[in-house]
Structure formats: structure tokens, C-alpha cells
Amino acid sequence: MLLILCPYCQSRRAELEFRNVGAAHISRPSDPQTTTDAQWGEFLYQRDNPKGRIAERWLHIHGCGRYFNAIRDTISDVFVTTYKSGEPPPAMPSEAKP
């Protein structure tokens, strides 16, 4: 079972308190009139599904009840970080090379 740090509660809690709600940073097309089938398909169904770091959303359903984002490694399941909704994904140490 994962231990997850809720960025609102600032507390590391058992996975049982949380609901995973899929990939993060996906935005709904803003103008349905001009959105093509391919764009809808991309928004609704296509996913990165990476073997490595994933940006995903969690809901602290049995805690504060709020959504937040996380970066996790899908091979080790270790969380790199969690951050509040609306915040941009943090620059990762590996990406922050000089």
C-alpha cells in the first residue's frame, strides 16, 4: 500500500484514504464547436501510460476531500513529489541539469 503526502493536509497517509483519478494536466477542449474528433479522442482516451515518471491526480477522499497532483515513478511506485491543483508540475531534479 502506498503512503501519500497530501499537500493540503501536509500529512503522509495510507493509500486507503485516497482515490487515484488518472493522468494530470489534461485540459478539456475549450471550444466544442471547433474541436475535431481527433482532438476529442486525444482528450478522452489517449494516455502517456509511461514506464517511468507519471504525473497523476489524486483525491483525498477520506481526508480533506481535495484534488492534488503527484509525480510518481511507475516502476518503483515511489512518489517524487505531490503538489496542489493549479500548480505547474515542478521541474524534476533530472531535468534541472545545468
Position among 9, 54, 61, 80 found at the interface with other proteins (CB under 8 A): 54
Position among 12, 25, 47, 62 found at the interface with other proteins (CB under 8 A): 47
Name which of 55, 54, 26, 28 is nearest 40 in CA terms. 28
Q: Which stretch of DSSP H or E encloses residue 73?
A: strand 67-73
Residue 42: φ, ψ to 5°: -60, -45
Q: Determine if 5 is a binding residue for other proteins (CB under 8 A).
A: no
Stretch that binds other proteins, among 27-35, 41-49, 60-68, 87-95 (CB under 8 A): 41-49
For the chain, give the number of residues.
Answer: 98
Using CB under 8 A, list all residues that contact other proteins.
1-2, 15-16, 19-20, 22, 37-38, 40-42, 44-51, 54, 56, 72, 74-77
